[in-house]
Amino acid sequence: MAKQRKKEPEIDMSQVLTVSALDGRLQHTFAPDVIQSFRYMATHLTLNNELPARIALIAALRGEGVTHTAVALGATIASDTGRRICVVELNWWAPGMINLLDPRRVDLTLAKKKKKAAVEAIEPLLPDHPRIEHVLAGEADLDAAIIHTNIPTLDLLPAGDIPISRRPATARSASLRDLIARLTEQYDHLLLDVPALRTTSDAIVLAALSSACIVVTQQGTTSITPVQQALDDVKSLTMLGIVLNKVRIHMPNWIQSLVPQD
């Protein structure tokens, strides 16, 4: 007798949170468990008045999920509190904000196994939209580079691709500091998406544009040593918390249902 497939638990659509650009070309839906975890963090920080104007989201190594965390946390705070939030991508080494919000995204691993051309055929999304790189070069206005979303108080500012030779000077430039200062006047909070601290020393300079940080790391991927080294790199900043991505809980569903989630 064939085994009966377990029925997948229904998703409470009232608990999901979708971020999309007003023109409809960008969109990403965050799952309820993701939003719930960020809601807990945001509630704690806002109720205790511990949320500063500029917060750096940092990681020791690449691929920890900093961009995903920055957008999800920004969307949660903006949606729940009405505070004006701008997620500012300062990662020219591995810009991922546009890709995260690209509704055409596919499972790249599966696509590469089946047909590599399926991945390569996807053209870059928003190729003509100005980014921070164009603002700093004087080629675009800051307002034109900001992406307004369906959440009225949430905006996004993608990084772009600054040539490697110019990245150290850009990270330390007065023009970047002026841009951050202008944004600080426009928004209640800036969430700065900073490159991996163990990848480039420029990340320390970029993180220093904030006064506090949130560390992002993956369960079972990053060892304690690089995280400790990264924390030492930014020890002048106030630590607001740690986000542990891709947590796997080996516990029966019926037991998990008894564990408070708030």
Average pLDDT value for residue range 67-90: 96
| Top-confidence residue, 234 or 58 | 58
Average pLDDT value for residue range 7-36: 79
Give per-residue pLDDT as tens, 178-203: 999 999 999 999 999 999 988 899 99
CA angle, 95 then 65 then 261, to 5°: 145
Reported as a pLDDT band with limits 50, 70 and 90, residue 116 is low
pTM of whole model > 0.85?
Answer: no
Average pLDDT value for residue range 133-141: 96
Q: What is the pLDDT of residue 220?
A: 57
Average pLDDT value for residue range 23-36: 89
Average pLDDT value for residue range 136-145: 96
Whether 259 shows a pLDDT value over 70: the answer reads: no
| Top-confidence residue, 202 or 243 | 202
Break the chain into its structural domains and give their ranges: 18-247
Average pLDDT value for residue range 138-158: 97
Whether 238 shows a pLDDT value over 70: the answer reads: yes
Q: What is the pLDDT of residue 110?
A: 53
Distance between CA atoms of 262 and 253, rounded to whole angstroms? Answer: 17
Average pLDDT value for residue range 82-109: 86
Q: Are 27 and 101 in contact (CB under 8 A)?
A: yes
Whether 162 shows a pLDDT value over 80: the answer reads: yes
Average pLDDT value for residue range 86-103: 93
Whether 50 shows a pLDDT value over 50: the answer reads: yes
Q: What is the pLDDT of residue 235?
A: 85
| Top-confidence residue, 81 or 251 | 81
Reported as a pLDDT band with limits 50, 70 and 90, residue 227 is confident
Reported as a pLDDT band with limits 50, 70 and 90, residue 1 is very low
Residue with tokens 């106030």: 238
Name the CATH superfamily housing domain 18-247.
P-loop containing nucleotide triphosphate hydrolases (3.40.50.300)
